[in-house]
């Protein structure tokens, strides 16, 4: 049963946002007026887990008819293949939303007050491909809440640097989600679903994705120049991250989509882990 729910929410995909949440958390606890506590870290991690579990399960619930009709997903997704019942998935969403808000309450009043807005973004994404090709940006926005959210969990105040790291996540995730959506272009057209590949076609969608990732690289470079000028670890992390961005665009071509999964999960998972780990180490060692 647990294995089925972990598959439903694609728990392994937590690897995309979690390292950036840890960057936001570390930025906060490294400030002189704040300090590290295990309970804060635990509640931040729980918020991440509960929010993402709610979002993914809700997406599967809302898309159950679409997933049943799509040959790519009909047999492998849990609601269409009968592994998890519709009502069970919806109950799972409700429980995780409540747990997320409870964990946010235990962090501070600001996080609790903002928790419904966060849920509106991450759950609302599931509806967006029914009316806008900008759905990829809404997904990116949802994941981009992780660095600033973790920072707010400690400080209860906004700051420019964690917001810049959120900007990285926004454009990075939007870019690779466009690549991932290429494999459903024909199906989405047939069912009147919206995406950048449907709107622009494969070639132009890849160009748009490159623009997203160029913007990602620009934000990283801006952060480095203004905040980490003399940090060797930051520039190593930046070089590797941007290199992996370039690599995923080498893997996927309009006439060859066979390496989309490699570009989507492996490439981006490695990029996030390396970048997040090195930045956290840099922040800790120079605190």
Domain ranges of the chain: 2-285
Task: Please tell me the predicted confidence (pLDDT) of residue 252.
Answer: 85
253-262 contact pairs (CB < 8 A, 24+): 253/206, 254/202, 254/203, 254/206, 257/182, 257/183, 260/179, 260/180, 260/182, 260/183
Q: Look up the CATH architecture of domain 2-285.
A: Orthogonal Bundle (1.10)
pLDDT digits (tens, 9 = 90+) for 115-165: 999 999 999 999 999 999 999 999 999 999 999 999 999 999 999 999 999
User: What mean pLDDT is predicted for residues 21-31?
Assistant: 97
- DSSP code at position 201: -
Nearest to 176 by CA among 161, 146, 190, 197: 197
Q: Give bridge partners of residue 256 from the DSSP assignment.
A: 253
Measured between alpha carbons, how far is residue 160 from residues 26, 124, 259 in Å?
A: 15, 26, 36
pLDDT digits (tens, 9 = 90+) for 59-96: 999 999 998 999 888 888 888 888 889 999 999 999 99
- DSSP code at position 15: G
Identity of the highest mean pLDDT range in 15-19, 85-89, 227-231 = 227-231
The alpha helices in 182-267, defined as continuous H runs, are 185-190, 196-200, 202-227, 232-251, 260-261
Q: Global pTM? A: 0.94
Band of residue 14 on the pLDDT scale cut at 50, 70, 90: confident
């Amino acid at each position: 049963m647990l294995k089925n729910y972990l598959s439903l929410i694609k728990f392994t995909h937590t690897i995309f946002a979690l390292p950036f949440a840890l960057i936001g958390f570390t930025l906060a606890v490294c400030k002189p007026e704040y300090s590290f506590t295990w309970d804060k870290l635990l509640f931040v991690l729980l918020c991440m887990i509960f929010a993402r579990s709610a979002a993914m399960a809700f997406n599967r619930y809302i898309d159950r008819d679409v997933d049943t009709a799509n040959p790519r997903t009909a047999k492998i997704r849990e609601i269409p293949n009968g592994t998890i019942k519709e009502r069970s998935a919806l109950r799972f969403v409700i429980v995780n939303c409540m747990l997320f808000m409870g964990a946010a309450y235990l962090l501070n009043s600001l996080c609790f007050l903002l928790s419904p807005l966060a849920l509106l973004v991450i759950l609302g994404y599931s509806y967006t491909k029914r009316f806008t090709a900008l759905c990829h940006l809404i997904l990116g926005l949802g994941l981009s809440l992780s660095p600033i959210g973790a920072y707010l969990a400690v400080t209860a105040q906004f700051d420019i640097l964690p917001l810049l790291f959120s900007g990285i996540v926004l454009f990075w995730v939007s870019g690779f989600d466009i690549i991932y959506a290429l494999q459903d272009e024909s199906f989405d057209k047939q069912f009147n679903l919206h995406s950048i590949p449907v709107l622009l076609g494969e070639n132009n969608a890849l160009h748009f994705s490159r623009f997203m990732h160029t913007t990602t690289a620009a934000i990283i470079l801006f952060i480095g120049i203004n905040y980490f000028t003399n940090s060797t670890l930051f520039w190593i992390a930046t070089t590797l991250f941007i290199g992996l961005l370039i690599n995923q665009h080498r893997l996927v071509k309009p006439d060859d989509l066979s390496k989309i999964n490699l570009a989507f999960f492996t490439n981006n998972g490695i990029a996030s882990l390396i970048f997040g780990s090195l930045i956290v180490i840099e922040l800790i060692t120079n605190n």
